[in-house]
Structures are given as C-alpha cells and as structure tokens.
Amino acid sequence: MSMSRFQKWTRALVIYTLLVILWGAWVRISHSGDGCGDTWPLCQGKIIPDAQQGKTWVELSHRVMSGLYGFLVLGFFFWARKLFPKGHKARFWAGLSLLFTVTEALLGAKLVLFKLVGTNDTPYRALIMGLHLVNSLLLTGSVTLTGDFAGARSWIARTSSPWTFEGLKPKRIVSGLLLSFFLIGISGAIAALASTLFPSTSLLEGFQADWNTESHYLIRWRGLHPLFGILFGGSIALTAWLSIQLQKPEELELARRGKRLALVTGLGVAFGIGTLVLLSPTWMKLSHLALAHGVWIFLVLWIREVLLRAENAASFSERR
C-alpha cells in the first residue's frame, strides 16, 4: 500500500512539475519576470507586495508555486528514504530530484537578481535560460525515474547478449539521443526568447530576418531550433520505431515504450512545425513546451528500459 501511494504521489508530482514549468514560461511570455523587482525570494522586498500591476501577481504566483514545490520535493525525498533501503535506485533518483530542485531555484534567482528578465536580450540571459531548460529536464526526468524504479519489475533476462541496434552498444545510442535532445532543448530556449522579444509579423519576414547578418544574434540563432527539432527529433522517433522491429517476444515492455516514444516524438515534431508556421501563438508556445517535456519523459522511460535489459543480459552472461 505504501509503495502504491508513493507511485501515485510521484505521478502527481510529475504533473505539478510540468505546471510550474509552464507557468514559468508564461512569466517570460508575458514579460512578468521583473514583476517583483530585483529582490528574491521576497517580492519587492515583502512577503505580500503592494501590487498594482498584473505582472507582479504573475511573478508572485510563480514564486509561490515554486516554493510549494520545494516543500513537496523535500517530503518526497524523505519519504523515499524511509520507504526504500540504502542503495535502491528510487532513493537515488529522489535525491537527485531534490538536488535539481535546488539548482532550479538558484537559476531562477540568478535571472531575477541579475535582471535577466523583461526585455533583457544579452547573451548571458540566453545562456542562463539554456541552463534553466536543461535543469528542468533533469528535474522532470529524476522525478519520473524515481516513480519508475519504485515499481521496478523483478525478472531474469532470457538473452545472453545486450540489446543492440545494427551493432551499436546501448550506451552509445543512449548518449547520442540524450545529447540530441539537450541540443533541441537549448536551441528551443533561445528560439523562445527570440520569439518573445522579436516576434515576426509573417513567416517570410521571419526567414529573411534569420539570414540577415545585421539581425540581432537571437534572431539569427533561432533558426537552429527547427533544424535540430526536425533532424534530431526525427532521429529519436526513427530510432525508437526501428527498435520495436528488433524486439524479441519476451521484450514486450521495451516495445511498448519504444512505440509510445516514436508516436509522441513524431507528434512533437509536427506540432513544432505548426507552431513555426503559425508564428508561435501563446497557446502553441505553452503546448509545445508541454509536449517537449512529454517527449522527454517517454525518452527517459525508454532509455531506462534499454539499459535495464542490457544490464540484466550482461548479468545473465556472467552467470553462464
């Protein structure tokens, strides 16, 4: 019963994690990052500010959500320590969830304290936003893996060699896919900042600005995101789909996770193209970010299954 409640709590925490991330994106889109001034964690130096501007309440509500999230993750961490023995992977990933929560808060504080908000268009802001995005992915992945390892299946591999794809080792595939997704994410953070600060009036005008050497550096760099999204996102979907064709009958769970990853990634690429064509309306920006984290969650779960099979297959070979 305790294990079941923990897993349900983990799923709820993943959803709340996404809500905090999406509200943080709305803070950027609505130019509300400076709504509390340059003070942190207090808003305008007060617990409850004298706010007359809507952006103050947008920023304050995000800080309240983030503060509550910190307490939830802290309780999540101690619950995992109580429930699982030392050395259990669910306990390990719960610890990383707490670590990435702290670093997430510090990166958010840096954006505020260094005034990297509002209309700030410096390369330093782009750098911190890229790191912020990567950290949010690591946080979401850690919470997801905590729940997955909490319900880990107990089985013995039936194969004498690890899963391979055209002779490539699983760890090489995993490393390539992770690097690809992080490049998509970082370029997406830059593109999101560019579309917020320098919105295009038409698709043609946007393309022309991308190739204009006199354009702002954010405008010239934003074109990397659709390129990486199609190239690397397509590679992730293709790898997941091809992996399904190589599965043995007993590897049904790996095939299921591969199918989900391929479908959601394909949907993500198509939605990203639609977002570009329609000039990134707000609802599509937020939906695109939510979908990207959905792809990330399915990618993490698929990778976990691939490495689990490789680990058990290696153990099988040693026993023989």
Say whether 59 is catalytic: yes
214-230 b/e (C-beta count within 10 Å ≥ 16 → b):
ebeebbbbbbbbbebbe
CB 183, CB 228: distance < 8 Å: yes
| Catalytic position from the list 59, 104, 251, 305 | 59
How many Å is the maximal CA-CA distance in the chain?
72
**Residue 11 token pair:** 């799923």
Taking the C-alpha atoms of residue 302 and residue 261, their distance in angstroms, rounded to an integer, is 7
Alpha carbon distances (Å) from 137 to 127, 142, 219, 296: 16, 8, 24, 7
Alpha-carbon torsion angle 76, 77, 83, 84, nearest 10: 140
Asked if residue 11 lies in contact with residue 19, where contact means CB atoms within 8 angstroms, the answer is: no
Q: Which residues are catalytic?
A: 59
